[in-house]
Amino acid sequence: MDTLIRPTITLWHREIVRFYRQRSRIVGALATPVLFWLLLGSGFSDSFRPGGAVGGVGYTEYFYPGTMILVVLFTAIFSTISVIEDRKEGFLQAVLVAPVARSTVVLGKILGGTTLALGQALLLLAAAPFLGLRLGVGDLLLIVAILFIVAFALTTLGFLIAWKMESTQGFHAIMNLVLIPMWLLSGAFFPAAGASAWLRGVMFLNPLTYGVAALRRSLYAGTTTVGPDVPTLALSILVTCTFAVLTFLAARSLASRPLDVGLA
């Protein structure tokens, strides 16, 4: 308890408290995707014809799971930027000389970001009834579980990128070059069905495709809204869990190496 769970909880707790003391982060991480959703949703709704899907799906509806994933991505990313700030401000060095396992340090940070990302996504989930979605308790539990795993994987990915990074500017560059395209090509923004062959190949290999698919399938379970080209729920959950585990193992191994960058 004393050497594993309490340190993890204390580092997790710190992430949450920090987040709520930086109001602009809350607004930015939630409001930006919602704004995208409303603007793009209403802008594209007339021209949108999802390839392969049965008619009657508006873009607002199609884009809904993708928006949730974007909220998760933004929150996860912003929370892992704090890895860089922690090192600059000196907080990290004190954690690294404390008698706690590196996996504790990694887990506390990542669970903090995961919780925040999940919380923000759940705020957006509250909009579901307005889209005419009727979700049972079972559906909700599944959705929360999927959002948790996706949030965990994306936060860990952010952690992996941030750990060795010396400046937050560098992090933003990676985010624009890697993470945003990863989201764009995940089926969040447009379906794979209508895309060219090579783009479909990229989307097939993109792990986030399966996170979006899992969420889409659990949100629209039992409806014809989901196109046939979207991976099945079982496969999506399997790939997403694997992705989360692999990123975590990589993060733990990375953090266990001596860190000699930027320590004062």
Partner 1 sequence: MALADLSFRVGRGEIFGLLGPNGGGKTTLFRILSTLLAPTAGRAAIGGHDVVREPQAVRRLIGVVFQSPSLDVKLSVRENMVHQGHLYGLHGATLDARIDEMLGRVAMRERADERVETLSGGMRRRIDLAKGLLHRPALVLLDEPTTGLDPGARLDLWDYLTEARKRDGLSVLITTHLMEDAERCDRLLIIDRGRIVALDTPDVLRDSAGGDVIVARTRDPQGLAAAVQERFAQEATVVDGTLRIRRPRGHEFIPLLFEAFPGRIEAVSVGKPTLEDAFIQRTGHRLWDGES
For the bound state, the minimum distance from the C-beta of residue 30 to partner 1, rounded and expressed in Å, comes to: 20
End-to-end Cα separation, the chain, in angstroms: 31
CA distances from 254 to 99, 104, 171, 178, 258 (A): 18, 13, 17, 20, 9
- Looking only at residues 17 through 56 of this chain, which bind partner 1 when binding is defined by CB under 8 A? 17-18, 21-22
Position among 35, 39, 43, 91 found at the interface with partner 1 (CB under 8 A) = 91
What phi-psi label fits residue 190: left (phi over 0), alpha (psi between -120 and 50 degrees) or beta? Answer: beta
> Tokens 């923004």 appear where?
189
Position among 96, 133, 180, 195 found at the interface with partner 1 (CB under 8 A) = 96
For the bound state, the minimum distance from the C-beta of residue 172 to partner 1, rounded and expressed in Å, comes to: 21
Determine contact, residues 62/50, Cβ cutoff 8 Å: yes
Q: What is the number of other CB atoms lying within 10 angstroms of the CB of residue 205?
A: 9
Q: How far apart are CA 251 and CA 247, in angstroms?
A: 6
Pick from 262, 263, 252, 260: nearest CA to 102: 252
For the bound state, the minimum distance from the C-beta of residue 247 to partner 1, rounded and expressed in Å, comes to: 24
Pick from 225, 68, 78: nearest CA to 147: 68
Which span sits near partner 1 by CB under 8 A: 63-71, 87-95, 141-149, 219-227?
A: 87-95
For the bound state, the minimum distance from the C-beta of residue 137 to partner 1, rounded and expressed in Å, comes to: 35
> Does 205 interact with partner 1 (rule: CB under 8 A)?
no
Q: What is the DSSP letter of 231?
A: P
> Does 95 interact with partner 1 (rule: CB under 8 A)?
yes
- Looking only at residues 221 through 240 of this chain, which bind partner 1 when binding is defined by CB under 8 A? none
Pick from 213, 162, 206, 155: nearest CA to 184: 206
Say which amino acid occupies 69.
I
Cβ closer to partner 1: 101 or 174?
A: 101
For the bound state, the minimum distance from the C-beta of residue 126 to partner 1, rounded and expressed in Å, comes to: 28
> Does 94 interact with partner 1 (rule: CB under 8 A)?
yes
Which span sits near partner 1 by CB under 8 A: 54-62, 63-71, 176-184, 253-261?
A: 253-261
> Does 89 interact with partner 1 (rule: CB under 8 A)?
yes
Position among 54, 249, 261, 263 found at the interface with partner 1 (CB under 8 A) = 263
Q: What is the number of other CB atoms lying within 10 angstroms of the CB of residue 264?
A: 7
Which residues bind to partner 1, rule: CB under 8 A? 2-3, 6-7, 9-11, 13-14, 17-18, 21-22, 86, 89-101, 258-260, 263-264
